Structure 1
């Protein structure tokens, strides 16, 4: 029987094969599922033993593994046959495999790795709650249980370049890899004729950006609690070998309204796996005014670019404006490029100032790591209450001079600093910059030894900037 296969956004033109016949990557792992299914061969149905090991579908013949397929980014859908009933079709790179039997538990397992086709049968889109250059975000409900979700909708007509496909595949794979309480949860992915749909956790609390705009002044103690939670989330992301590369108030989310105790990090569209070679899908990426200077300077960088962004956020909470606040976009970029920070504007205790300067040190080698920052004496109270929930390895002598940190912590808890959200933070518009060649770039040593980009600048609302995607971007173009 001839089957008409739909083209898929996720098909890889450079990998036309479906089955792989060499050794399975992790042969010693236990099978998640295994059963005898009906498959069609030579116009007849025969029994074959199939198994699932995480994201791999295994095909056995006479109890011996014959071939397997990586299910990531393959298409999954139900099919029916008059003779054998309900089945599953898995399509990848314009090839497919069908099997029939007790397939419902298999479908429910496979949906976490595969791309589904039946979005409109499962979800109802409601109001739009966010908008970007390539995607809109809608509130939605599940048609079966009424649960609420956020749906990130990518319009295929806007994703015409090959790099767009790779970027979305990477975003999906990274979100699936992290999957912990510190990161917005990705449940499943659908592909329709016109759009791609990412089904995400619905966060009722909204963005930290919105909270800052309407919040009362932050005390130093309140700031320390929030920064501790953000650093904890960044630490867990870095433990997976991931660089976020676009940390800013808009990408830090509150699960519940006005609840700073339950935050998570969102928008992994610019994230990548760390590589010491500096070869990324995009190289120069992030948001001017929120990025580390070495990223703008086209130097090799590591996990500490995210730490610098956390330092910028801490500065904003204490001072009420960005450390690189400028008269226009170019001014913001240049201030960020040269890391010109007026630390004297921060009304912080000495121990708090030491942390801020450690987070925003322009030299990435001397800048704190996430682990070092979490062990800083400024967080002594947080660590005291959180050690049972979050295991942090012993501090490696971050600060020797603060031996009397307990006394200073008692002093700073009474300090209060004024916060006024009147800066450019409240009215900044997204912009896009991408990809840069590193061949002639100055290099910075990478401190971590670990394991995988798009630039959305921020500038006051009166400067309307159009999205830009460039293959080359140099300082002269700033």
Structure 2
């Protein structure tokens, strides 16, 4: 009892340091700002530590603060007195009449302020936190895309803009969410998970998330701006790939997916619309984007959206409501490899239901994809309908199809422009691919979009990562043995788009 009273007293005292303020990222199940229990990573190194002025009850007091990864620590007599996880907390600069410049950190409708030499702290903290005052830093130029979020709706609640940084003129892509259109429970969890996942992944072939802002009406994700557009658009006007060109492309894609899987993450929506080119016509420099359906691997199969993806690009076990793992992404890569070589989808059908049925039963006519024997061995390994026998990303990268091209030194290659006359366009993309696309779709072979049951919503895994206690010890799927057969941008002035027009 005495211990419970002590913890309650400390929590009440900790509340005195903070003041209420609301945010989209507030957790209703965590009403306090500070955690007064034992700090879980007490042996971790400190990234920053300094003596700051802290405003308590309108009076300034000196206190020692530290930062270890994404935790803010409050010290007393060289021991951690209390701590807070800064993921998705809000930070902004503040000023004090006597102490000068400071930082305000907001979380769970409360905030904490400290003052001193804080510029270095702010630049460090913004990689974990949500910022305010988006319009002070960026100017929106034009809309470059839009989409739905989480499920199929009539209203587009996501818009993507090209923007320029006001300080240096660098161009970025801004993904905007209108807060009023977001479901407070499901969408909040999905956006938090998307941000969490993107912050954990750093790879040259994966789109980079730089900053996150929250305004009164919108959430803003500041992303890398990719000038080359979608692979989907490139494929519409390109002839089918040669084996050499396809091998180099698939190798890079597998390397990126392998890095995602190493973090314990499933992408779950690999398709041409979600693969970008950094420069026009340059398939030598690709980038995986859109992690709106990505999730942390769960051995139990419990995900925020259990059935999701795009018909014609998903693994059959996902459609069959079976427990799945990282190998669903490998199957999607196999589908893409088939399309690049054959010029059409392995699941071509007369309508939506036909495509889903063919995908459900993994009815693939491999003979329609003209590949060498060694290339066909890889394709069948990627698209094996039995996930246990299907290749992992690491196994695929070691396949002789890539070794014959010496793709372990892929950075030394440059894709040669074809001197051949333009051949037939990819037949698959002459049709309206958008009729089969969805950002998050639940489907079964016997139902259409209008007859689907509500999707599975769970709160688990949002904090799951290889660094958290909830993460399974074995992140990688079981390996099954197989027999192998930057540039500087100038600043420009363009028409600004007021936020009211979003």
- Global fold match (TM > 0.5): yes
User: For 1:289, what is the secondary structure of its paired residue?
Assistant: coil
Distance in 1 (CA, whole Å) between partners of 2:362 and 2:380 is 12
Kindly report which structure 2 residues correspond to 1:233-312, keeping only aligned pairs within 5 A, or say none. Answer: 233-312=256-335
User: For 1:108, what is the secondary structure of its paired residue?
Assistant: helix
User: For 2:260, what is the secondary structure of its paired residue?
Assistant: helix
Kindly report which structure 2 residues correspond to 1:35-434, keeping only aligned pairs within 5 A, or say none. Answer: 35-133=50-148, 134-383=157-406, 385-386=408-409, 420-424=425-429, 427-429=432-434
Kindly report which structure 2 residues correspond to 1:443-462, keeping only aligned pairs within 5 A, or say none. Answer: 454-455=440-441
Per the alignment, residue 394 of structure 1 pairs with: none
Indicate conservation of the 8 Å contact 1:318/1:419, yes or no.
no
Distance in 1 (CA, whole Å) between partners of 2:430 and 2:390 is 25
Bigger Cα displacement from structure 2, 216-225 vs 117-126:
216-225
User: For 2:222, what is the secondary structure of its paired residue?
Assistant: strand
Q: CA separation of 1:179/1:432 partners in 2, compared to 1, >3 Å: closer, same or farther? A: same
Indicate conservation of the 8 Å contact 1:325/1:424, yes or no.
no
Per the alignment, residue 12 of structure 1 pairs with: 27
Aligned-residue CA RMSD (Å): 2.8
Unaligned runs of 5+ in 2: 1-15, 149-156, 413-420, 444-448, 459-502
Indicate conservation of the 8 Å contact 1:138/1:151, yes or no.
yes
Distance in 2 (CA, whole Å) between partners of 1:166 and 1:339 is 32
Q: CA separation of 1:287/1:79 partners in 2, compared to 1, >3 Å: closer, same or farther? A: same
Distance in 1 (CA, whole Å) between partners of 2:405 and 2:204 is 18
TM-score, with length taken from structure 2: 0.79
Indicate conservation of the 8 Å contact 1:57/1:69, yes or no.
yes
The offset of 1:311, in angstroms, is 0.4
Kindly report which structure 2 residues correspond to 1:25-36, keeping only aligned pairs within 5 A, or say none. Answer: 25-36=40-51
The number of residue pairs the alignment matches comes to 423
User: For 1:175, what is the secondary structure of its paired residue?
Assistant: helix
User: For 1:49, what is the secondary structure of its paired residue?
Assistant: strand
Distance in 1 (CA, whole Å) between partners of 2:90 and 2:424 is 50
Q: CA separation of 1:336/1:384 partners in 2, compared to 1, >3 Å: closer, same or farther? A: closer
TM-score, with length taken from structure 1: 0.83
User: For 1:423, what is the secondary structure of its paired residue?
Assistant: helix
The offset of 1:454, in angstroms, is 2.8
The offset of 1:25, in angstroms, is 2.5
Q: CA separation of 1:231/1:121 partners in 2, compared to 1, >3 Å: closer, same or farther? A: same
